[in-house]
Amino acid sequence: MRHSLIVGLIVSFLLAGLCTAQVTVNTFEGIDASQITSAGLGIDPNGAVGTKQYMEWADVSYQGFNKTTGAWVYASGPVPGDTPWRTNNMPDCYGPSGNVQLNFDHIASRWVIGRRQSGSGAYFYCIAVSNTDDLSASNFAWYTYELPLNSVLGTNSHGHVFYPDYPKIGTWIDGYYVTIDLEDPDNGFAEVGVVACAFDRTTMLTGGTMRKPQCFRYPNPPNGIFRAHSLEPADIDGLIAPQLGTPEYFASLQNPAQGQSTANNMNEWVFKVNWATPTNSTFTGPISVGVGTYTQGCFNINNVTNTVCVPEPSSSVTHNYIDSVGDRLMQRLAYRRYTGANAYQSWLVSTTVQVGSTPLSQTGVRFYELRDKGTGNVGTITANDSNYRFMPSIAQDKVGNMAVGYSVSGTSTHPSIAASYLNLQQRTAATEIDLWNGTADEENAFTWGVYTSMTVDPVDDCTFWYVNEYFDTNQVGSAVDWQTRIANFKLPNCH
């Protein structure tokens, strides 16, 4: 792949309304706060679809579901998130943890959990890889690993270790790749850099002793506010793997320069790992990629770290608004390789942008498709309904259909779940579908998780699966009443 990714057509899709005639949406209930002891407010709902089940992570727990009926795999309820490491006696990874990502490795047909853990001033990154694709198998087990992070993260001028935030993990052919934001605990936890690490996927799939992870810190040392933070590592969709020797790619937004409210580029990063000679491994970036001018969702030039502005029907009374997390790309950076006469590689990612004409006004979903050959796509999905669309996650199926799921909320719309789809190869118009309608608000917190998950079923390589949160009871005071819903649908031109 060339070091400069090609981005082509920039389109704004104005949704005229909902059209569900050709698309059947199936849903079932995911993990709810009532099922978790001491549930928190920021739940980061995410998950993945495997060959046998769907698996979800919410708050500090996970659960598997029958793909047809929605029945639980673990009959007693959601499983504490540190269970794989407790089972294998790895105390550094004990305890509740947020900022967790759950993936399904399409090429190996394995489940993967990546999570940050901390205790007594020490930080760890913990990975669990399943020994089979079947969560209900009698021989099901987790291979578990940990990386002590303190020396990887580095320290600030006061000698304090940078705080590891917003970790992301992606599956590639030669490794599991992890990125972590560095935040300065003595400067309001401002983002000052990033760490990227490659984990020895080949050995981890066998349960063997992994080779030492290879990590890079950028910038090194951190030297101020880092405006290209929160890197998304490429994560493989489909059963066609990248060619051997293809490096791992990452993408990140470029936050506006000081005093500016718009930006016009994103960033590419390239990690070439060399397991035989680690000193030959390289991490290159940021490489600027022009994507047209945009304003990040809920961008406030007077408070650039605050991306809270999404209204609910109750906001005029409670003055509580939801965080759009518009300052970064949302997981996943979904990779797919197409073969045949018009072979190309595609990287697809999404974010929240402002579509209204005034600061902190209506938000929509922007997507970027980057290709190594031909012309990619940039588009924005919005509507004339005044609703805010935010917190997207995106993927594409084997025939080039793109589906992006997201939350929808407004002054007369309770936070709900929707998706839009189009064909990237034919550049068709976008169509929006309802996935689940919320009937209540989150009145006591601005946190709406910080990411969701759209994934593609590895069995037919057509069916999209999406998980997000909603409310059917107003969450007020100290109450924790969130719910999650898992939806799936397939477009009629994918067989």
pLDDT digits (tens, 9 = 90+) for 57-100: 999 999 999 999 999 999 999 999 999 999 999 999 999 987 89
Cα 362 from Cα 353, distance rounded (Å): 9
Structural Rg of the chain based on CA atoms: 21
Give pLDDT, residue 283: 98
Across all residues in the chain, what is the average pLDDT? Answer: 95
How many other CB atoms are found less than 10 A from the CB of residue 3? 11
What percentage of residues in the chain have a pLDDT greater than 90? 92
* pTM value surpassing 0.85: yes
Contact criterion met (CB below 8 Å) for 323 and 448: yes
pLDDT in tens, 206-231: 999 999 999 999 999 998 999 999 99
Q: What is the DSSP string of 28-79?
A: EE---GGGSTT--S----EEEE-SSEEEEEETTEEEEEETTT--BSSTT-SE
Contact residues for 48 (Cβ-Cβ < 8 A; gap 6+):
54, 55, 102, 103, 104, 111, 453, 455, 465
Using a 10 angstrom Cβ sphere, with 0-12 exposed, 13-18 middle and 19 or more buried, the burial of residue 317 is exposed
Contact criterion met (CB below 8 Å) for 233 and 178: yes
Cα 418 from Cα 24, distance rounded (Å): 13
Give pLDDT, residue 11: 67
The pLDDT of residue 1 is above 90 = no
Residues in the chain: 495
Contact residues for 239 (Cβ-Cβ < 8 A; gap 6+):
106, 107, 458, 461
Domain extent, residue 366, equals 9-489
Cα 446 from Cα 319, distance rounded (Å): 10
pLDDT in tens, 429-481: 999 999 999 999 999 999 998 999 999 999 999 999 999 999 999 999 999 99
Cα 3 from Cα 421, distance rounded (Å): 29
Give pLDDT, residue 329: 98
Query: In three state form, how does the secondary structure of 293-325 look?
Result: EECECCCCCCCCCCCEEECCCCHHHHCCCEECC
Q: Interior CA angle at 102 toward 33 and 376, to 5°? A: 120
Q: What single-letter DSSP state applies at residue 133?
A: S
Q: For residue 145, tell me if it sits in a domain.
A: yes
Cα 186 from Cα 190, distance rounded (Å): 9
Helix (H, G, I), strand (E, B) or coil at 168: strand
Contact criterion met (CB below 8 Å) for 234 and 103: no
Q: For residue 34, tell me if it sits in a domain.
A: yes
pLDDT in tens, 382-418: 999 999 999 999 999 999 999 999 999 999 999 999 9
Please, which pLDDT band fits residue 363 given cuts at 50, 70 and 90? very high
Whole-number Cα distances in Å, 346 to 5, 11, 209:
10, 18, 33
Q: For residue 2, tell me if it sits in a domain.
A: no
Q: Which helix (H) or strand (E) holds 376?
A: none
Q: For residue 1, tell me if it sits in a domain.
A: no
Q: For residue 4, tell me if it sits in a domain.
A: no
Q: What is the mean pLDDT of residues 166-171?
A: 98
Q: Interior CA angle at 19 toward 14 and 20, to 5°? A: 145
Q: How many Cα atoms sit within 13 Å of 91 on the Cβ side?
A: 2
Q: For residue 380, tell me if it sits in a domain.
A: yes
pLDDT in tens, 7-63: 555 666 777 554 445 899 999 999 999 999 999 999 999 999 999 999 999 999 999
**What's 106's domain CATH number?**
2.120.10
Q: For residue 189, tell me if it sits in a domain.
A: yes
Q: Which of 438, 425, 450 is nearest to 331 (CA)?
A: 450
Whole-number Cα distances in Å, 27 to 24, 201, 487:
10, 33, 4
Give pLDDT, residue 201: 98
Give pLDDT, residue 195: 98
* Number of domain units in the chain: 1
Q: List phi, psi (to 5°) of 455.
A: -135, 170
